[in-house]
Amino acid sequence: MLIKYLKIIRDKSHKYDRTDINGHEVKSSKIFLRQVLFVLITILLFLISLNGFSERLLEYCVSALSILAGLFITVLVFVSEKIPDKETNNENISAKERTKQIQLYNYYKQFSFMIGRTTVLSVLCLIIIFFLIQIGTSYNPFEYIIAHQIDIESVFLFFKININLVLRFLFIYWMIRIFYNTLFAVSSLTNIINLKKE
């Protein structure tokens, strides 16, 4: 059941990430370039932090992510009561009002699913931090040499280093996504307020 709901959040957030406020699909080239940019920034930061993360930095991240996740859950509860109907049966409203209603609906949907996805990513990053602290945060693969004799200890160390590198890469990538999604959510909320005031 949990996996089903997480899949819905992922699919819907992808859908509204690819849709503008009028319900039109965004060009796939823009989405592709954005993904490439995220990956390039992730690789750059990964190489810069090849020696690992300090425990102090991870503690700051835990505090920030915990606050962010709690805040977003509160906002989600509040927003869920405010989402308007997409369509209206009132024939007396003007085309401008109808367009405004559809735009508000799309803004609310974009905002809510982006916040949901960001909350899930925040929890996943907290889980990664927990595992990084357990297996060690400062493994640089270039500081190790290839063992001439393979034993249990060297195999264990090999897997430990690789798991550490994968977790660090995912952590950086998801933190970038969280930062982007937060900015996106704030801009969407600002647009919702402006649209409702017009």
For the chain, which residues make up each domain, given as ranges?
Answer: 2-197
Q: What pLDDT, on the 0 to 100 scale, is given for residue 64? A: 92
Check: pTM over 0.85? Answer yes or no.
no
- Tell me what pLDDT residue 20 has: 72
Token pair, residue 138, equals 């400062």
pLDDT of residue 91: 60
pLDDT of residue 140: 63
pLDDT value at residue 29:
81
pLDDT of residue 123: 92
Which has the closest alpha carbon to 142: 47, 34, 15? Answer: 47
In this structure, are residues 118 and 34 in contact, taking their beta carbons and an 8 Å threshold? Answer: no
pLDDT at 39: 94
Concatenated DSSP letters for the chain? -HHHHHHHHHHHHHHHHTB-TTSPBPPHHHHHHHHHHHHHHHHHHHHHTTT---HHHHHHHHHHHHHHHHHHHHHHHHHHTTPPPS----TTS-HHHHHHHHHHHHHHHHHHHHHHHHHHHHHHHHHHHHHHHHH-S---GGG----SS--HHHHHHHHHHHHHHHHHHHHHHHHHHHHHHHHHHHHHHHHHHHHHH-
Tens-binned pLDDT, residue by residue, of the chain (198 aa): 777 777 888 888 777 777 777 777 777 788 889 899 999 999 999 888 877 788 888 889 999 999 988 888 888 887 777 666 655 555 666 777 777 777 777 778 888 888 888 999 999 999 999 888 887 766 666 565 555 667 777 777 778 878 888 899 999 999 999 999 888 888 877 777 776 666
Measured distance CA(26)–CA(110) in Å, rounded: 13
